[in-house]
Amino acid sequence: MKLILAMLALVAFAGPGTVVAAEKSAKAASASQWPNQGKVLEVIDTAMYTYLQVSGAKGPVWIAASKTSVAKGDTIGYGAGSVMTNFHSKSLNRTFDSIIFTDKVEKLK
């Protein structure tokens, strides 16, 4: 938060030429706050949750978060969350070998 306020102050005093640099800096700061990032490979929405298959360092992983607006091909950041194995989703009638439940997902690009 302090970083964002400092960048806003810089833009206010430096003029419009630095707006682009400040925006890039803000996106980089936002991306760095997420311990996990990846490209969305598949999206399944239910009434309460969004299930996402995301590219990971060791291969695709499934994550679940509160319903969110994310599309296939988006790059997202997400927290470590809680990993569950052999999780059965009643709403999807599907069992996931492993899935990460996280509280928030943010579109990065």
Cα separation, 98 vs 88, in Å, equals 10
Residue 18 parent element (H or E): none
Same domain, 89 and 50: yes
Question: 5-48 pLDDT, tens per residue?
Answer: 444 454 455 555 544 444 554 455 444 577 889 999 999 999 99
Q: What is the pLDDT of residue 23?
A: 53
Regarding whether 54 and 11 lie in a shared domain, the answer is no
Q: What is the CATH number of the domain that holds 78?
A: 2.40.50.140
Tell me the C-alpha distance between 46 and 99, whole Å. Answer: 16
For the chain, the domain total comes to: 2
The reply to whether 61 and 92 lie within a common domain is: yes
Find the domain containing 47 and state its range: 36-107
State percent of the chain over pLDDT 90: 57
Does residue 47 sit in helix, strand or coil? coil
Q: Based on the domain organization, do 48 and 92 belong to the same domain?
A: yes
In terms of pTM, does the model score above 0.85? no
